[in-house]
Structure 1
């Protein structure tokens, strides 16, 4: 388990993390989300003892990372896939980590096969593609068979097969009872992988909840209604307090009423309805809306 309690980290006048508190529990994949500059990387580094908090604490199984004996047996992390000597082979890189972490060298071959690099184990890391370096970094994180794993943007550079593989890997690690924390900017992938979300902005906690609960609480459900009598139906829906927008020549997009309520209203008034379909806002839509005021750098949308 990972426990972050009132964590605060400042760099001069800039507060990167501001009183942040959350818990990452075992047995589920927790997505760690936030815009650029939100403090995600600083928080991950504090958990791994690479940053010293100005206040608060970041603990792994109740202890600071720096006090763990043989830490690679407790925590595995991928923060930077490029953190490998380009002249070393994949096997040599992992062997060095195993020796330093007092890990049985037999694990090197096991994790190379696990991440799909068994056939290129003797190839220099400098010749690897970004996707292959990601796999090597993941192998390093798994080397000590740790109960806690942290991944920062693990799907960068992976092809579709690789993305599917890492998704299944993270889910399987959680199913084994491990604590899995994944930081990512890919909302669509997070929606498919994570069970729980920790969302931060400007170093502060925005949400700490399950994915479905997050979408229910912060997302807006819309109902698409296709009807040849849409003008009459739109007036009735607005009279019931719904927000109604026109789409195409026959469709209404309705917010504020359920599918059942819309269908019943149309039936009572004898209005034909050819299609009723509810659409839940996507994780990306909800995230963008919720963190809009926490974005450090915002571009403009030109209508031309």
Structure 2
């Protein structure tokens, strides 16, 4: 479990993380989301003891990172896949990490095999592609077989096979009862991988909960009928909010598809289509963070 309580980090007048509190439970993949500059990386660095909080605490299984005697056995992490000495081979990089945490050499071979880098074990990390660097970073995170994983943008640079692999890996680790916190800007991938979300903006918590709470809200019932204008008025009289969708399409909010169907049957309205369209995670994220975007593009 990862637990943040009142976590705050200031750099002079700049507040990067502002009284942030949330818990990342075991057995689930938790997506950690926010716009650029939201404070995600700073929060993760404080979890890993790389930055000292101005106030508040960040603990891993009840202990601060600096209190962990063999940290790789408790929490595995990847913040920057390129943070490897370019002249070190993949094998030597992992071997040195293993030796500092009292891990057997056999574990190095195991994780190289897990991430698909066994044949590249003798190659220098400086010659790796971004995708290969990501795999090496994930190997380092898995080295101590830790109960807690923290990964920042783990699918960057991976090809479709690699993306599917890391998705399956993360869900498998969570299914084993491990705590998995993953930060990403790829909403479509988060929607396929995460069980729950923590969303922050300008250093503060905006929302958290099961992923269905985000994608299940704001659903529209899509109706196509040759009697669109008349049926729209009837729907509104019944308490629904109706928006034209173009042509013979209506977007109905505030009334379920079965209720729309029953009303159409009672009114003798012909329906060409009656479906429920849920908001995408991207749409939900954009709506939640629209006032927390620090570096937005011109419109």
TM tier relative to shorter chain: over 0.9
2-side partners of 1:116 and 1:61: how far apart? 30
Q: CA deviation at 1:240?
A: 2.3
Segments of 4+ moved more than 3 angstroms: none
Q: 1:136-166 CA deviation, whole Å, 9 max, x = no partner?
A: 0000000111111100000000011100000
- Pair 249,214 (structure 1): closer, same or farther in 2 beyond 3 Å: closer
Secondary structure of 2:69 counterpart: coil
Q: CA deviation at 1:264?
A: 1.2
Which of 276, 285, 288 does residue 287 from structure 1 map onto? Answer: 285
1-side partners of 2:14 and 2:128: how far apart? 37
Unaligned runs of 5+ in 1: none
Q: CA deviation at 1:124?
A: 1.4
2-side partners of 1:248 and 1:260: how far apart? 22
Q: CA deviation at 1:281?
A: 0.2
Q: CA deviation at 1:254?
A: 1.5
1-side partners of 2:100 and 2:63: how far apart? 21
Structure 1 partner of 2:68: 68
Structure 2 partner of 1:171: 171
Structure 1 partner of 2:272: 274
Q: CA deviation at 1:257?
A: 1.5
2-side partners of 1:276 and 1:179: how far apart? 40
Secondary structure of 1:141 counterpart: helix
Q: Normalising by the residue count of structure 2, what TM-score does the alignment of the two structures yield? A: 0.97
Q: 1:194-249 CA deviation, whole Å, 9 max, x = no partner?
A: 11111111111111211112334xx3111111111112111211222323222332
Structure 2 partner of 1:124: 124
Secondary structure of 1:293 counterpart: coil
Structure 2 partner of 1:188: 188
Structure 2 partner of 1:209: 209
Secondary structure of 1:95 counterpart: helix
Structure 1 partner of 2:141: 141
2-side partners of 1:19 and 1:84: how far apart? 32
2-side partners of 1:126 and 1:55: how far apart? 38
Secondary structure of 1:200 counterpart: strand
Structure 1 partner of 2:246: 248
Q: 1:91-117 CA deviation, whole Å, 9 max, x = no partner?
A: 111111111222111111100000011
Structure 1 partner of 2:258: 260
2-side partners of 1:45 and 1:263: how far apart? 52
Unaligned runs of 5+ in 2: none
Secondary structure of 1:294 counterpart: coil
Q: 1:61-110 CA deviation, whole Å, 9 max, x = no partner?
A: 11110111011111100000000111211111111111122211111110
Secondary structure of 2:236 counterpart: helix
Asked if 1:94 is matched to 2:94, the reply is yes
Secondary structure of 1:295 counterpart: coil
Q: 1:112-142 CA deviation, whole Å, 9 max, x = no partner?
A: 0000111111111112110110000000000
Secondary structure of 1:199 counterpart: strand
2-side partners of 1:174 and 1:192: how far apart? 14
2-side partners of 1:248 and 1:68: how far apart? 60
